Structure 1
Amino acid sequence: MILLGTGGNRKTDEADARHVAQVALFRPDLRQVAAEDQTTILRLLTERRDDLVHERTRVLNRLHAVLRDLLPGGVATGLSADKAAAAMKRIRPVTATDNCRRDVARDLLADLRRLDRLVKDNEIRMREALAATRTTLTSLRGLGTALAAKVLGHVGDVTRFPTEQHFASYTGSAPLDASSGNNVRHRLNTRGNRALNSVLHVIAVVQIRDGGRGQEYYQRKIAEGKTPSEVRRALKRRLSNVVYRIMKRDHRTQLAQAARHTVAL
């Protein structure tokens, strides 16, 4: 590593690449380079979906604000393209300013419909790409298509994590010790992959709300005197283990299927 820490202003991309290669020669434990696979496609699709959803939210908020200035009392929350179109039929512009607002609202409605189509198309492609991986992640309560695709897209090859603890560290679900004396406490871990941490949070919230083992665990820990935040963090840690085990099991299954296929040939 000394090679990478020297050079100062003499460093160039070519020199950096040479130094990295020389260091790698003496590190046989480094992860092997592999060709991009279905998980890369899933990550691209999930990132695209996030961008589309954020843009849709921005357009929807702007449309809501414009309609508020055009209609007495505005429009209700939970606005959609169809609801906005129905509301706009009641608009009767009086001034040139109101005419401009109506034109802007029409443009925003067109943008919203376009984004709705793009989100729907993205979800179809994501569902097809997820099916090609033959994952069983969606069997976990609270883990739907979009979240499963995000997990696979960010994790990639699960075998690069030798243990559940390594995986939990990567997802940022391993709480940090904040104990003092006999008072055992843990605090939030803000490190790790925040996208995966967010996925675990959604699963935990859904399980706490909808019942099952997650809700039972939550209620039991609350009864023991733990705070809701502490229990959610602990549940996320347990869910991290579950996700890891499912992915490891899927990996073993796919290896066995590949081996049987090779023998059959």
Structure 2
Amino acid sequence: MNPVWVGVDVGKEHHWACVLDAEGRRLLSRRVANDEADLMALLGEVTGLGADRVQWAVDLTTVEAALLLTVLWDHGQSVYYLPGKAVSRAAAGYRSEGKTDAKDARVIADQARMRRDLAELRPTDDLVVELRMLTTRRADLVADRTRALNRLRQHLTAICPALERAANPTGQRAWVVLLSRYQRPKAIRRAGVTRLTGVLTGLGVRDRTAAAVARAAVGAAKAQTARLPGEDIAADLVAGLAKEVMDLDGRITELDSAIETRFRRHRQAVVITSLPGMGFRLGAEFLAAVGDLGLFTSPDQLAAYAGLAPVPHDSGKRTGRLHKATRYHRGLRRALFMAALTAIRCCPTSRAYYDKKPGEGKRPVQALMALAGRRVNVLWALLRDNREYHASPPITAQAA
């Protein structure tokens, strides 16, 4: 046997590759440009060493490593993943206090040589890659919308605090539409309820909602006759931010349509959405986070990846203590948590399990986490068997 291990410290413009033999001796260490020609040259150098087995390891799986991984997979190479945090911790046990790409690459290669618990990476389905990009972009737009709404409320307070208290731009689109046209208390009082209602209905707001928002806006505007300093500038800023929120709403809606279209094309989309609380959006986030379910040999591994499995914290005679995990996939945990939160409203079985937890000393968030962890077992079994969820187990011929 003549195996070698290749550690690659992934970068945006360049990578650094280090090759070690079975004794940990360095056979090659150099910078590699993040382009196909240089990566092919590196692959040729490694295979030219005459090793009968080559194992690659990387510290990132993001877009910076996409070309590298594609080249390696296209040529039948085995690639393993060592998280960046694990590299940083392991580097403390190697000589020199400094941090360089060359040192990190050697640490990655050496850890891959010694460890047997690294997860092997597999080529990702194009559909999953697309969902990952779309869900990430949607999260960015939602964050932009939240920031715009916070700034809008701040500037609206500088115009009329009563109007800011009455407004609900976060939960009602009608308020955003109104504030894109009217911001000053004087203008709102002059327009009156009837005219404001007509403007809102003309812009697509339902009659009942338009009338309620118009009455609330006029009532708040009548509570203040004083003109605050900087009102004109603040009004322009509020109008601009309201239009920005409306534009973001439209872009988020377009993304939702693209996400749903691609998610429905996945072979297990029906299985995932059959679980109560798991709609197309959360299902897409689940697929984007998990990728290939075959990487998880048990539901416990999936729960640990989502941070839903408690971690032991024993020391000496102190045993049996558990604490919350700190290393997990945030996106996967969010998707499973939100699905559980929805399930307690629409699924009697989930609600009964959730209601039982306070009697066991669990706080509401802990009860939700316990429910999410329980549902991981169900979802994993459904995906493994490729069957849809049913509230009551099917009656078999033997049971009948």
Q: Is 2:259 the partner of 1:126?
A: yes
Q: CA deviation at 1:229?
A: 4.7
- Using structure 1 for the length normalisation, give the TM-score: 0.78
Task: Confirm or deny: 8 A CA contact 1:173 1:236 kept in the other structure.
Answer: yes
Aligned to 1:161: 296
Q: Is 2:218 the partner of 1:82?
A: no
Determine the C-alpha separation between the residues in 2 that align with 1:19 and 1:122.
Answer: 42
Aligned to 2:115: none
Which has the larger displacement, 211-220 or 156-165? 211-220
User: What residue ranges of structure 2 are gaps of 5+ in the alignment?
Assistant: 7-18, 33-38, 48-52, 57-75, 81-118, 188-226, 388-400
- Look up the equivalent residue of 2:133 and give its one-letter code: L
Please list, as runs of the form range in 1=range in 2, the aligned pairs for 1:105-120 lying within 5 A after superposition: 105-120=238-253
User: What residue ranges of structure 1 are gaps of 5+ in the alignment?
Assistant: 252-265
Q: CA deviation at 1:228?
A: 4.1
Give secondary structure in 2 for the equivalent of 1:23: strand
More strand by share: 2
Determine the C-alpha separation between the residues in 1 that align with 2:362 and 2:241.
Answer: 47
Determine the C-alpha separation between the residues in 2 that align with 1:6 and 1:68.
Answer: 66
Q: Is 2:310 the partner of 1:192?
A: no
Determine the C-alpha separation between the residues in 2 that align with 1:66 and 1:6.
Answer: 63
- Look up the equivalent residue of 1:159 and give its one-letter code: G
Aligned to 2:30: 11
Q: Structure 1 residues 38 and 234, CA, compared in 2 at 3 Å: closer, same or farther? A: same
Aligned to 1:138: 273
Q: Structure 1 residues 107 and 9, CA, compared in 2 at 3 Å: closer, same or farther? A: farther
Which has the larger displacement, 22-31 or 220-229? 22-31
Determine the C-alpha separation between the residues in 1 that align with 2:121 and 2:347.
Answer: 42
Q: Structure 1 residues 159 and 35, CA, compared in 2 at 3 Å: closer, same or farther? A: closer
Q: CA deviation at 1:194?
A: 1.3
- Using structure 2 for the length normalisation, give the TM-score: 0.54
Aligned to 1:49: 138
Q: CA deviation at 1:243?
A: 2.2
Q: Deviations over 1:216-264 (max 9, x none)?
A: 122223324444454333322212222222332339xxxxxxxxxxxxx
Determine the C-alpha separation between the residues in 2 that align with 1:132 and 1:142.
Answer: 20
Q: Structure 1 residues 107 and 179, CA, compared in 2 at 3 Å: closer, same or farther? A: same
Q: CA RMSD in A?
A: 3.6
Q: Is 2:369 the partner of 1:236?
A: no
Aligned to 1:175: 310
Determine the C-alpha separation between the residues in 2 that align with 1:26 and 1:218.
Answer: 46
Q: Structure 1 residues 211 and 22, CA, compared in 2 at 3 Å: closer, same or farther? A: closer
Give secondary structure in 2 for the equivalent of 1:22: strand
Q: Structure 1 residues 190 and 16, CA, compared in 2 at 3 Å: closer, same or farther? A: farther
Which has the larger displacement, 234-243 or 217-226? 217-226
Aligned to 1:207: 343
Aligned to 1:68: 157
Give the greater-gyration-radius structure (CA). 2
Identity %: 27
Determine the C-alpha separation between the residues in 2 that align with 1:119 and 1:26.
Answer: 39
Q: CA deviation at 1:125?
A: 0.7
Task: Confirm or deny: 8 A CA contact 1:81 1:109 kept in the other structure.
Answer: no
Aligned to 1:39: 128
Determine the C-alpha separation between the residues in 2 that align with 1:47 and 1:114.
Answer: 18
More helix by share: 1
Q: Structure 1 residues 160 and 223, CA, compared in 2 at 3 Å: closer, same or farther? A: same
Give secondary structure in 2 for the equivalent of 1:73: helix
Q: Structure 1 residues 85 and 45, CA, compared in 2 at 3 Å: closer, same or farther? A: same
